[in-house]
């Protein structure tokens, strides 16, 4: 590129429409300032050098934080594109390549500009050493989710703006945009926040509970295939695998667009805001509430009842609620609820029905019972095999019984903790 073509390229960045928010990006801002300075007839050499190495600093810093590698400017641009969140990316999440031609053409206009940006040879433009940001491998962080790297490589290796746009649309449709571009599980913090170190669990990690797992799989399979499905309440003793079963669903179905959003009981009041965000996205969401229960006097359960069934606004078809609880009916009951002794309420049965009605809003209720001794032994033995522990069965069982007696009783969690203790 000569100075004239470089100047024309810098000017073309101002013509971005769909990805206009990228003009506020700090690294692109530095790059534009650098190009502007180079194009000046009397550009300041010291300022050019300063901006150039400031650009390198920001690219390397971003690489160490986010796991970018290779040609850092190109990797950063592709990363910025897939993490963009606007009307175009949301449309692609829902409709993929079947978006309207008008929107496609607007995006293609931008992609022609951005494609050129990924092809910039900084060394030729600035006559400075660019070896610091070529073939870069980060130390602190690798790519956050390796399972998405193949799809991202397709964008990086595109040979034309149109091919690049089609690969970007495919990425949005299959994986998501914005915060969903490289995460499959999220928390809610006034918006979706990706869980970087998600606890990947597979169903093979959960020994036993075959009926419960089969029911969850069947319901979730229907959900991600666009068929009718039910909200699910998983009830049972602690450590029996309720939460792990929900996590295993995401591991199983993330490729079909399933995502997990964990919220707390206190965030139920944010539910309308959460649903507003999720229904506009082109993915299937399980809103997960772990250890859900309500004490006497807590009224959030009334809000939840309305959301689950009977409110003015129904839950979007791409959202289900899965909750776990140690209580069958979720809400603390007292004997006074069932008698009129000490109560001023005339119709005491109404109080009982009110408290039981929340669990009835879940179409499927699954019970996870603590394992008996033989089931506990089976779990311990399966986990020992996975850890390649060569311990006689009788010794393993004997030690497992002692561990359960001294810890939290028999459960899948106790078995896992026991195996961890002898694997050290």
- Each residue's pLDDT tens digit, 40-90: 777 788 898 899 899 999 999 999 988 888 889 999 999 999 999 999 999
**Would you call 282 helix, strand, or coil by DSSP?**
coil
Condensed to tens digits (0 to 9), the pLDDT of residues 127-144 reads 667 678 888 889 987 655
Condensed to tens digits (0 to 9), the pLDDT of residues 236-279 reads 888 888 999 999 999 999 989 999 999 988 888 888 889 889 98
pLDDT at 350: 41
The reported pTM is 0.80
Edge-to-edge strands, sheet with 192-194: 192-194, 185-188, 258-262, 284-289, 319-325, 232-236, 364-368
pLDDT at 333 over 70: no
Contact in structure between 170 and 97 (CB atoms under 8 Å): yes
DSSP state of 14: G
Mean pLDDT on 163-179? 94
pLDDT at 325: 86
Mean pLDDT on 194-210? 86
Helix intervals (H) in 254-392 = 271-279, 300-308, 335-338, 348-360, 373-386
pLDDT at 101 over 80: yes
pLDDT at 19 over 90: yes
Higher-confidence residue of 46 and 407: namely: 46
Query: How many CB atoms are closer than 10 A to CB 157?
Result: 10
pLDDT at 341: 47
Condensed to tens digits (0 to 9), the pLDDT of residues 175-198 reads 999 999 888 999 999 889 998 888
Superfamily of domain 203-368 in the CATH hierarchy: P-loop containing nucleotide triphosphate hydrolases (3.40.50.300)
> What's the mean per-residue pLDDT of the chain?
83
Mean pLDDT on 353-360? 58
Mean pLDDT on 341-362? 53
pLDDT at 61: 95
DSSP element (H, E) containing 221? helix 210-224
Residue 91 structure tokens: 């449309």
**Would you call 331 helix, strand, or coil by DSSP?**
strand
Cα distance from N-terminal residue to C-terminal residue, the chain: 60
Tokens 């229960």 belong to residue: 293
Tokens 């009334």 belong to residue: 302
DSSP state of 206: S
């Amino acid at each position: 590129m000569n100075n004239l073509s470089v100047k024309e390229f810098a000017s073309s960045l101002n013509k971005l429409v769909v990805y206009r928010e990228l003009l506020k990006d700090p690294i692109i801002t530095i790059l534009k300032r650098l190009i502007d300075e180079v194009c000046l007839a009397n550009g300041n050499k010291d300022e050019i050098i300063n901006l150039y190495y400031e650009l390198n600093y920001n690219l390397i810093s971003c690489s160490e934080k986010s796991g970018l590698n290779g040609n850092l400017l190109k990797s950063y641009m592709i990363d910025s594109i897939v993490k963009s969140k606007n009307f175009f990316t949301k449309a692609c999440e829902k409709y993929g390549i079947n978006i309207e031609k008008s929107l496609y053409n607007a995006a293609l206009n931008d992609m022609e500009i951005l494609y050129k940006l990924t092809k910039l040879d900084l060394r030729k433009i600035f006559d400075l050493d660019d070896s610091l940001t070529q073939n870069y491998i980060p130390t602190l962080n690798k790519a956050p989710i390796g399972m998405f790297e193949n799809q991202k490589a397709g964008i990086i290796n595109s040979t034309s703006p149109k091919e690049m746009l089609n690969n970007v649309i495919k990425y949005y449709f299959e994986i998501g945009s914005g915060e969903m571009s490289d995460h499959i599980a999220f928390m809610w913090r006034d918006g979706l926040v990706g869980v970087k170190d998600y606890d990947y669990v597979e169903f093979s990690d959960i020994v036993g509970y075959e009926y419960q797992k089969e029911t969850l799989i069947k319901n979730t399979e229907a959900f991600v295939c666009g068929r009718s499905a039910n909200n699910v309440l998983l009830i049972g003793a602690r450590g029996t695998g309720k939460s792990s079963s929900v996590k295993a669903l995401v591991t199983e179905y993330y490729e079909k667009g399933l995502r997990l959003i964990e919220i707390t009981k206190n965030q139920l009041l944010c539910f309308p805001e959460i649903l507003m965000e999720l229904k506009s996205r082109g993915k299937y969401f399980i809103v997960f509430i772990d250890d859900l229960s309500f004490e006497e006097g807590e009224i959030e359960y009334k809000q939840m009842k309305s959301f689950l069934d009977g409110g003015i606004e129904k839950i979007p078809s791409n959202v289900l609620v899965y909750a776990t609880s140690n209580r069958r009916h979720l809400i603390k009951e007292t004997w006074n609820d069932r008698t009129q002794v000490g109560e001023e309420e005339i119709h005491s049965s109404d109080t009982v029905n009110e408290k039981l009605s929340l669990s009835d809003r879940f179409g499927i209720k699954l019970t996870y019972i603590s394992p008996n001794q033989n089931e506990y032994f089976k779990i311990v033995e399966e986990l020992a095999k996975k850890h390649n522990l060569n311990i006689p069965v009788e010794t393993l069982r004997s030690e497992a019984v002692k561990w359960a007696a001294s810890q939290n009783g028999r459960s899948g969690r106790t078995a896992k903790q026991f195996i961890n203790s002898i694997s050290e």
